[in-house]
């Protein structure tokens, strides 16, 4: 059971890390609008960072719930013995 949990956690982490490189790409229309001016070139980096922040927050919330469930289940299992 322990190996299964570690395997799932490793799979989730690896999926997140390898999928993160695709996050920096933005839609063609947004990129065209932002990079059409000289000032927009500077803002493109900020836009990409904003996309990453918006993507990371739901994963952190889900990880918090998963951790709470895992700790709760582990406490119940410990108290049963």
Over residues 3-43, the pLDDT tens digits come to 777 788 888 887 777 766 555 555 666 667 767 777 777 77
User: How much is the pLDDT for 6?
Assistant: 79
Task: Give the separation between CA 43 and CA 40, rounded to whole angstroms.
Answer: 5
pTM across the whole model: 0.47
Confidence class for position 44, pLDDT limits 50, 70, 90: confident
User: How much is the pLDDT for 70?
Assistant: 92
Domain count of the chain?
Answer: 1
Task: Give the separation between CA 4 and CA 6, rounded to whole angstroms.
Answer: 5
Residues 60-73: tens digit of each pLDDT: 999 999 999 999 98
Q: Quote the radius of gyration of the chain (alpha carbons, Å).
A: 19
Tell me, rounded to whole angstroms, the distance of Cα 63 from its chain centroid.
9
The domain containing residue 68 runs over which residues?
2-80
């Amino acid at each position: 059971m322990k190996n299964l949990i570690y395997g799932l956690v490793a799979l989730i982490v690896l999926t997140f890390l390898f999928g993160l490189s695709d996050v920096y790409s933005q839609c063609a229309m947004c990129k065209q609008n932002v990079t059409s001016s000289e000032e927009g070139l500077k803002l493109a980096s900020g836009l990409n960072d904003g996309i990453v922040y918006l993507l990371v927050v739901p994963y952190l919330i889900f990880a918090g719930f998963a951790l709470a469930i895992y700790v709760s289940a582990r406490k119940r299992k410990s108290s049963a013995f």
